[in-house]
Amino acid sequence: MVLSAKIPVGDLDVYDRQNFGNQSGFGMAPALLIVDFVNGFANPDEFGGGNIGRAIEATKGLLTECRNAGIPVAFTRVVYADDGADNGVFCMKAPGLKDLTEDALGSQIVNDLAPINGEYIARKTQPSAFFGTSLQSWLTAKHVDTVLVTGCTTSGCVRASVIDSMSYNFKTIVVTDCVGDRAIGPHEANLFDMEQKYADLMTSSEVMRRIAAI
């Protein structure tokens, strides 16, 4: 995978020697998970920047393909109570999050990826798409075995969601051109970690070829 050039050679050696970085594979029943592609994370003046805009753009095509193939689609939004009743430690670390309330522009899914009927939208207050949501129950109801993860940020809510997805024993695919981050260093470092330990990395083109072959 092209990004590994950024990781010191010695680091890669030890992962190879200890037999990390194997493929967990692509199952027969994927779902598409779109993490936090909301206006606030599309906007460099709020929580956006870096390659997030490009990732949203790339996700448009993948979303269309998934819908055409009848693949279940789930979204997450960060949503806090208007009165701040559910603000917690995450809001201490990043106080701007408090503004992402139900009706705030910043917490609406970007127009280009607007959900359609029957797609699941998880409101969350923590990094992982699974924490304090019904995502796991929804995936079980859909008989999913593979989660295709897109969204932002790679080093934040994508990474947290990938850990949980893998922990629940879903084969987990990070779609490399469909995840983005406000800064490229953490984006790449987290792709490295996830590939070594939790998920397979695939481009959206590769994913679309796999979907076509199911």
**Strand (E) positions, the chain?**
30-35, 73-78, 120-124, 146-152, 171-180, 200-202
Alpha-carbon distances, residue 79 vs 33, 71, 99, 103 (angstroms): 17, 25, 9, 9
157 is catalytic: yes
Contact positions with a copy of itself (CB under 8 A) in 29-58: 29, 44, 46-47, 49-50
Binding mask 71-110 for a copy of itself (x = CB under 8 A): ----------x-xxxx-xxx-xxxxx--------------
Closest CB to a copy of itself among residues 46, 57: 46
Residue 197 is which amino acid?
Answer: K
Contact positions with a copy of itself (CB under 8 A) in 178-197: 182-186, 189-190, 192-193, 196-197
Binding mask 3-32 for a copy of itself (x = CB under 8 A): ----xx-xx--xx--xxxxxxxx---x---
Non-local CB neighbours of 120 within 8 Å, separated by 6+ positions: 72, 73, 74, 75, 134, 135, 138
Q: Which member of 141, 205, 212, 214 binds a copy of itself (CB under 8 A)?
A: 141
Would you please indicate which residues are annotated as catalytic (active-site) residues?
A: 157
